Structure 1
Amino acid sequence: MSPQSRGNCAPTYGRVELDFEPAGEGEPASVEFDATVWRPEYDEGYERALTRGVLAGLGAARARAVVRLVAWHRTDSSDPVFEHLGTLAARHARGCAERGTDPEPLIDRGVRIY
């Protein structure tokens, strides 16, 4: 955490890009992080929060999510932001799969979700 104060504004910045594909036969839903994406300087809480959000958004759908990009800011990001992004992305991917449509980038509060 930065020594900078967050003031009265809740942190709202985060950006993620994920790919979704069906899980293998008999495999549960899962989240994997591309090795080039997640670096030690990232807050591990963001990784756990993003994973929780994706799994919650998938519900009973069995899919594998691969995180391709994560952008965060030391003072303007938080665990709830990444949990929210994961949930939105997974729900969008699940809905596209159910409708048979291609996913499009989502923007939530100025955050683009791919």
Structure 2
Amino acid sequence: MDTQRAFELQPVRSRARRWSFALIWTVLAASAGAGTVAWVHHANQAERCPVLAPDALQIRMTQAELALEQERAARDALQKSASAAQAQTAALQTEVLFLRGHGGREGAH
């Protein structure tokens, strides 16, 4: 008689208890994920731009533009000075080559 009966595994815990465990596990996992996302967003807030009043932002932008304009002017002046020095060096190099050429001929005679 035992050999002809269909044997099935019977759950040890009730269906309600299994569903409650699944529900609790889902809630815990969702809250852990939400907490992680909130923590990551909170940690990145320090790296974000500070909130400033429009007037303060305008003042900072004006100061940055002024500093940039001063840097451009200094760079242009340095470039002009370097170009002038390069032209003077080329002229002196030509003069040195000319004088060496005349000095070599006079020394040979």
Please tell me the TM-score bracket, short chain as reference: under 0.3
Structure number with greater CO (CA < 8 Å, separation at least 6) is 1
Query: Normalization by structure 1: what TM-score?
Result: 0.23
Higher strand share: 1
Question: Which of 1 and 2 has greater Rg?
Answer: 2
TM-score, with length taken from structure 2: 0.24
Which structure shows the higher helix fraction?
2
